[in-house]
Structure 1
Amino acid sequence: MSDAKPIEVFYWPTPNGWKITIMLEECGLPYVVRPIHIGKGEQLTPDFLAISPNNKIPAIIDPDGPDGAPITIFESGAILRYFGEKTGLFYPRDLRARVAVDEWLFWQVSGLGPMAGQAHHFRIYAPEKIPYAIDRFTAEVERLYGVMDRRLSAHPYLAGEDYTIADIACFGWVKLWDRQGIDLARFPAIGRWLAAIKARPAVQRGLAVGSDGRKRGESDG
């Protein structure tokens, strides 16, 4: 894939942004990061909205899309599935196995991510501490961790025996367990899974991409 044109990744270092840089590193696809500073409202510019109409990162432009034509994609789950299908990696061909991956991928994008995001907001960022909101979202995240821990008590990875895009999707959110008010010691299977994924070199490289689009330690020289 060394001759391929780089994929443009519209990114900010958040759990959803990390999904894409981790997947690209795992797959060995060439990419270039286009930082979108969400704190400055850059996600609301017309140019970005043309790619991501929901004004959220991440989004991508793949110059070598289906049939060789460029394609733009928004929504992190859709991007992960696209890369899995494009490369044949971390997203099985077998339909039964693929359904298991999709179940946990959709569980993350519809449940774990939104609920953890609300927990982050009300616990850390909200200008007013609202006990009802803090309790509600912290409790729901804790319930979801229980679901995940039971699954990982029976299987090494979320979709079964193999590491897949479902694990990549969940990792960035679970990595921030302390910001969600979670006592990770209560979820030993998640702790084991989290340590295994953190140890992957591609995961470490994906996490190292910063707000300027560079990996930590890179310089101009």
Structure 2
Amino acid sequence: MPYEPPKVWTHDAESGGTFASINKPTAGAQFDRELPRGEHPYQLHSLATPNGQKVTILFEELIEAGHPIEYDAWPIDISEGEQFGSGFVALNVNSKIPALLDATTGEDVRVFESGAIMLHLAERYDAFLGESRTEMLSWLFWQMGSAPFLGGGFGHFYAYAPEKLEYPINRYAMEAKRQLDVLDKRLGVSEWLAGDDYTIADMANWAWYGQLCLGRLYSAAEFLQVHTYGNVVRWAEAIDARPAVRRGRMVNKLSGEDESMKMRERHSRADFDGR
């Protein structure tokens, strides 16, 4: 039967798919819980989703490039609703990972939204901004605006919705492929998204589109025929081979079949020894 929207929408916790038990139409803390705090000026609270990996990859790239920084990374298990604890909500009123506490100036400063955290760190160390800051910012914000259609749109209806529905899957598959084509055309004329330099725009876009093309998101590589976007695949494989990217993917990773890639917490470079 076709769905007929009611005059007034009400929340139905049984109809939300995989994350129905934690999704609510309200904001704010749902329980009291203080966040742990390590010894480093940067305290990251996150999870190894694409949005979380953007920031841990950047941290590891900064360290790889020789910047004298360290950070503690603590897991926020969104499947258990930990993002609604009072301590985390104080860092991010939107209850989404990642969130960063920056105490490098002697005062606690919160930074939330993955793109904002990346730009905050890149500007702090004048790194991975590229020669054309304007071009880099365009691609960084393109990712921030486009990826919700890939994750919350395609990913939700293809992988997480309680039933497979043809219309939304077709609608968001078309948009996902259009976005891949945007990237493919750009990477056909430029080695990196912002030009000749590897930047935070590449890291941010790779976390979503690169990993999609590497078969790591939604088991949808065949469905979307990602191999046909040859320029994106070339770019994705080049970034995937970077040591800092491999490390960044591990941080706050709680699930997956490969035990060697899991790292619940990260407190020093030595945590990667032997991996």
Structure 1-normalised TM-score? 0.89
Name the counterpart of 1:168. Answer: 203
Name the counterpart of 1:132. Answer: 167
Give distance in 1, aligned partners of 2:208 and 2:188: 19
Give distance in 2, aligned partners of 1:188 and 1:105: 21
Name the counterpart of 1:79. Answer: 117
- TM-superposed CA distance for 1:49, in Å, is 0.8
Q: Secondary structure at the match of 1:149?
A: helix
Name the counterpart of 2:42. Answer: 7
Matched, 1:193 2:235: yes
Q: Secondary structure at the match of 1:10?
A: strand
- TM-superposed CA distance for 1:62, in Å, is 1.1
- TM-superposed CA distance for 1:6, in Å, is 3.8
- TM-superposed CA distance for 1:69, in Å, is 2.8
Name the counterpart of 1:39. Answer: 79
Name the counterpart of 1:148. Answer: 183
1:91 corresponds to which of 123, 129, 137: 129
Give structure 1 regions of 4+ aligned residues with deviation exceeding 2 angstroms: 176-182
Note the residue ranges of structure 2 that are not aligned, 5 or more in a row. 1-38, 64-68, 255-263
Name the counterpart of 2:30. Answer: none
Partner letter of residue 148 of structure 2?
P
Name the counterpart of 2:155. Answer: 120
Give distance in 2, aligned partners of 1:6 and 1:182: 42
Is the radius of gyration larger for structure 1 or structure 2? 2
- TM-superposed CA distance for 1:99, in Å, is 0.6
Give distance in 2, aligned partners of 1:83 and 1:9: 12
Q: How many residues are aligned here?
A: 209
Percent identity over the alignment is 40
Q: Secondary structure at the match of 1:64?
A: coil
The answer to whether the 8 A contact 2:40-2:72 is kept is: no
Q: Which moved more, 1:178-187 or 1:8-17?
A: 178-187
Q: Secondary structure at the match of 1:102?
A: helix
Give distance in 2, aligned partners of 1:70 and 1:30: 16
Partner letter of residue 134 of structure 2?
V
Please give the per-residue CA displacement for 1:29-74, whole angstroms capped at 9, x wherever unaligned: 3111111110011111121111111110001001104xx4331100
Name the counterpart of 1:20. Answer: 55
- TM-superposed CA distance for 1:218, in Å, is 6.2
Please give the per-residue CA displacement for 1:178-217, whole angstroms capped at 9, x wherever unaligned: 43442122110001100110011100110122232249x8
1:69 corresponds to which of 107, 110, 118: 107
Partner letter of residue 165 of structure 1?
I
Q: Which moved more, 1:165-174 or 1:205-214?
A: 205-214
Give distance in 2, aligned partners of 1:131 and 1:45: 37
Structure 2-normalised TM-score? 0.72
